[in-house]
Amino acid sequence: MKDFKHCIWFLPERNHPWYGYSDGFCPHVTIALGLREKEARDLANDIRVCDIEVKITNDVRQSCVGDFYALFCSVEPTDSENKPEWWPENAHVSFKYKYNTPFTEQEIESLRERVSVKSALLNQMRTVKCSGHFTEWGRFA
């Protein structure tokens, strides 16, 4: 199992439809990953949290790191002229995770059909320990 250590996630506002698209974790844009706990807390304290409206800019994609598979969509701020300096390169919102086998075309198509809302207001920053099975990652550090 891939250990992403401590991560900083930027989340949609509460009750946004994207929460209904993911299984076992919060949909999120990863700001930083692979951090030790103190690094994550210090960096999270240094980031000025602001409301950022984002839009999905492409179709559902699949990635693989070792035995860890993800389904995601790239996002960008609707006001790209004023994105914060900490905004990640290649930002994307993660919707589904899986271990050991790739997502099937049917699973990808199913998510594609569900992702009907193409924009969100991101306004919550969280430090998350991403060790162990992804369904355990909801426990914030």
For residues 113-140, average pLDDT:
88
Q: Among 3.40.640.10, 3.90.1140.10, 2.60.40.10, 3.40.50.2300, name the CATH number for the domain at 5-136.
A: 3.90.1140.10
Six token digits for residue 73: 């969509």
What is the C-alpha radius of gyration for the chain, rounded to an integer number of angstroms? 14
pLDDT of residue 137: 84
Helix segments in the chain, DSSP class H? 37-46, 105-114
pLDDT tens-digit profile of 23-56? Answer: 778 999 999 999 999 999 899 888 877 899 999 9
Q: How far apart are CA 27 and CA 20, in angstroms?
A: 9
Cβ neighbors of 15 (< 8 A, separation 6 or more) are none
What are the extents of the domains in the chain?
A: 5-136
pLDDT score for 36: 93
* Mean of the per-residue pLDDT values of the chain: 91
